[in-house]
Amino acid sequence: MRKGNLYHKSVITIVMLLLLIPLLATLLYSFSAVWGATVLPEKLTLDWYIKLWSDPRFLISFARSIFLCFISIFVSLLVIVPLAFIIEYRYPKWQSMMDIVILLPFAMPPIVASVGLLQIFSGSPIMGTPWILVGCYFTIVLPFMYRSLVNNLRALNLHDLMDAASLLGSSAPQAFMRVVLPNIRKGILSAWFIAFSLLFGEFVFANMLVGTNFETLQVYLYNMRQTSGHFTSAIVISYFLVILILTLLANRFNK
């Protein structure tokens, strides 16, 4: 039994090292001033991070990414929360159909969807604006947000809650707003953080449909790839830290 545990721990340790070594190397490279023929950097510096976080173009692209994520998630919640409630409460027979619908975004790669959208909306006033990304981002977060909210609703014993509210004189909309929503707030927060971490790193739709017209963080990173490797490493580590914080928050609220 101990040999089996030792084997499992060894496999996990090796996998963790394989995942962490590239990240640690990128982190060290982002702090190095000179790293050439030596095993370790010859000098460490914070200049790359100072240069990055004092670059107006980076700060604007960072703010744009956050703005897009907030708007897209807000619109998605306005649609998905009532949809999940109605299907779970009124039309449970549609659950199998929704299980198929939420899988459709995985069936079409973003690059293929981007080409189709370019053909459909070519010449449209929304092409090249951030508003076309809101619709695209809705399809990205739909499976994750819907599944998170549905699992939360199923854990509530929804029909009993609604029946109790009805007996106390509440209409269905009132019961939804005053009883159901407060009980699924943790599920909503969890879905919000998961969606934010997904959208914050989206690149294909943003690059193909908007590009430099509305430069997001990922497009900025792509456009800066020809600059110093130390500088781009600082961008990657900054991006990773934001995603790590959001992931930890999502796990915390999910519990």
Beta partners for residue 34, in sequence order: 43
What is the distance between the alpha carbons of residues 245 and 238, in angstroms, rounded to a whole number? 11
Q: What is the pTM of this model?
A: 0.81
Structure tokens at 68: 């897009």
Q: Which pLDDT score is estimated for 74?
A: 92
What is the distance between the alpha carbons of residues 24 and 144, in angstroms, rounded to a whole number? 30
Contact call for residues 180 and 85 (beta carbons, < 8 A):
yes
Contact call for residues 207 and 110 (beta carbons, < 8 A):
no
Q: Which pLDDT score is estimated for 100?
A: 85
pLDDT one digit per residue (tens) for the chain, 255 residues:
456 677 778 888 888 888 888 888 888 888 887 777 777 777 888 888 888 889 899 999 999 999 999 999 999 999 999 998 998 888 888 888 888 888 888 788 888 888 888 888 877 888 888 888 888 898 888 888 888 888 888 888 888 888 888 888 888 888 888 888 888 888 888 888 888 888 888 888 888 888 888 888 888 888 887 777 888 888 888 888 888 887 777 677 656
Contact call for residues 132 and 72 (beta carbons, < 8 A):
no
3-state DSSP helix/strand/coil percent for the chain, to nearest 5? 80, 0, 20
Q: Which pLDDT score is estimated for 56?
A: 92
- Helices 229-254 and 185-200 cross at an angle (nearest 10°) of 160
Q: Which pLDDT score is estimated for 127?
A: 82
